[in-house]
């Protein structure tokens, strides 16, 4: 990798804004993640940076990105909306295989979990911690392999959102609870 590429990688991992996303970029670099799934892509800037880091961390290897989002169906108060067409245009120029799934992200994940296969990195919104959508967790373990990394957003008391790595034992516990609820 060229010096400029190394500097860009360093910038993404340690100096980029918002700082809450830096652990994701470091995890991609460290694990050489090439298959990334994100629920709720926002304005697409984090997706672009994740793709760039993945391409630099695994040069010459195929990178895949799947984004699940409401797109046009998003509430006005949710901030800047990225349309499905706009997302395809934005991410299509990144030079990777992109799959965008419109709809409510948790429900979309239930719909496409089996077709996604094993993923290296999964990024989940804070809303998934709600007990009302526990059934979503039933599908998460089948998407993971031994080295998969799962990040979940957490709302801090001061209103900031941070990303934490979710341990596999926690995921398996939530999946088991979702399976029991599903069987009932």
DSSP single-letter state for residue 18: S
CATH at residue 127: 3.40.50.150
Number of domains in the chain: 1
Q: Is residue 81 part of a domain?
A: yes
Q: Evaluate whether 25 touches 12 at the Cβ level (below 8 Å).
A: yes
Containing domain of residue 93, as a range?
Answer: 22-183
pLDDT, one tens digit per residue, over 124-163 is: 988 776 666 778 889 999 999 999 999 999 888 888 889 9
Q: Is residue 14 part of a domain?
A: no
pLDDT, one tens digit per residue, over 28-86 is: 999 999 999 999 998 999 999 999 999 999 988 999 999 999 998 776 655 667 899 99
Burial 102-140 (b: 16+ CB within 10 A, else e): bebbbebbeebbeebeebbbbbbbebbbeeebbbbbbbb
């Amino acid at each position: 990798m060229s010096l400029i590429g190394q500097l860009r990688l360093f910038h993404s991992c340690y100096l980029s804004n918002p700082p809450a996303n830096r652990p994701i970029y470091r995890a991609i670099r460290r694990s050489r993640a090439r298959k990334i799934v994100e629920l709720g892509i926002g304005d697409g800037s984090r997706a672009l940076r994740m793709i760039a880091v993945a391409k630099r961390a695994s040069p010459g290897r195929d990178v895949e990105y799947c984004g699940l989002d409401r797109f046009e169906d998003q509430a006005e108060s949710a901030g800047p909306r990225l349309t499905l067409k706009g997302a395809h245009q934005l991410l299509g120029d990144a030079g990777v295989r992109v799959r965008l799934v419109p709809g409510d992200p948790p429900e979309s994940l239930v719909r496409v979990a089996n077709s996604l296969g094993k993923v290296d990195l999964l990024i989940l919104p804070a809303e998934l911690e709600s007990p009302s959508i526990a059934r979503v967790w039933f599908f998460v373990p089948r998407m993971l392999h031994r080295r998969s990394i799962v990040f979940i957003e957490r709302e801090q008391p001061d209103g900031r959102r941070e990303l934490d790595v979710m341990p596999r034992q926690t995921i398996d516990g939530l999946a088991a609870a979702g399976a029991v609820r599903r069987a009932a």
